[in-house]
Each structure stands twice: as structure tokens, then as C-alpha cells.
Copies of this chain bind each other. A is one copy, B any other.
Amino acid sequence: MNDFSQRAHDIIEAGRSLYQMGLVPATSGNFSARLADGNIAITVSGRHKGRLTEADIMIIDAEGAPLDARTPSAETGLHTQIYKHFPETGAILHPHSMNAVLLSQRYPDFVTLSHYELLKAFPGITTHATSIVVPVFANDQDIPRLAGKVQTYLENNDAVYGYIIANHGLYTWGRTMADTLRHIEAFEYLFACTLHSGG
């Protein structure tokens, strides 16, 4: 397989997993992976995320410009932003996590995840005796404006592993798709604990 096919395969398999977890209902969500040449493989807008094929994945450049006539996800600007800010990032997943949505209603500014062993799923965390902060941004159909708020946050904070868009979902990323899926599983677990513990 060439580089695009390998990254497309990663995206297809990730979509199948996330759909089975109930995280991308009704064609929602979008996924991407960085190619070796710096371009980005990203899901075409509006496709069923549990049954993706290579034809549902297109290539954009690092600025988000499509390399063919199709329309990438409306939220492409949030993907290119993350790849620019975190040069080591290889994959991004954006599910419409219901747990993230419910938490954003309870905590409109940020969610703090504290003292769970599973925090060690995130890079650089070696003890449960710590906290991570997941910022919550108000939803906005104006993606450049939303990206501006995310940018300000990223530039002023370290150790950001993901963020929530209120009543919308989660963005998380990692060095590889496997790492990014591990972050999804960790966030879902920690979000559910936080919701159920009332904490």
C-alpha cells in the first residue's frame, strides 16, 4: 500500500470503531491523518463514518485547500490548525461524543479530570496524582472564528490533549492513529466517570 492508502485504511478502521462505540451517529464526525509529504487525508463531508471506503477520503494541503473537486469536512480548518500547532501529530479524530456534550452543559468553560489511573493513557503522564484540563469552546458555524479561540488557548496552555466544542463533540489527536484512538477511549472513560460521579 502507498502512503495514502495506509492512512486511509487507518481512517476507515477508526471510523468503524467509533461508529460501533456510538460516537459518530448520523454521518457526524470527521477524521484525518497526515501524509508523509505534509498533505492531509481527511473524510469527505457527509459520509457514513462506520462504512467508509477509500473513495470517502480526500487529500487537502496543509492550508486546507482540496487537491480535487470534492468538499472536505466543513471543519477542515480545525484539523489543519492542530497539525500546524503540534508538528508531531499524525492523526486527528473528532467524534460527536455524547459524554462530551453532556459535560459541556454542566461545565461550559472547561472540564477537569483528576486522580484517575487512566490519565496515564496520555503522553507524559506517569501518575494518577495529577489533573488534566479539557477546554470547552462554544459551538460556532464560523470555523475561522472558532479556530481563533482554539489558537489563543493552545498558545497559552501546555499539555492539551483534546478539546470539547459545546453541544457538539470532542477533538483529540496523537502521533499515530493508534495513539489517537487510545486518547478517545481514555477521554470517553474519564468523561463517563466524571458524569456519573457528579465530580
Contact = CB atoms under 8 A, between A and B. Distances in A.
- How often does this chain occur in the complex, in copies? 4
A128 B26 contact: no
A141 B141 CA distance: 44
A56 interface: no
Q: How large is the interface on A (under 10, 10 to 19, 20 to 34, 35 or more residues)?
A: 35 or more
Contacts of A127: 141
A79 interface: no
Q: Secondary structure of the A side of the interface?
A: helix
Contacts of A98: 189, 192-193, 196
A186 B128 contact: no
Interface in A166-199: 167-169, 178, 182-183, 185-186, 188-189, 192-193, 196-197, 199
Contacts of A188: 25
Which of A96, A127, A129, A169 lies at the interface centre, i.e. has the most chain B CB atoms within 10 A of its CB?
A: A96
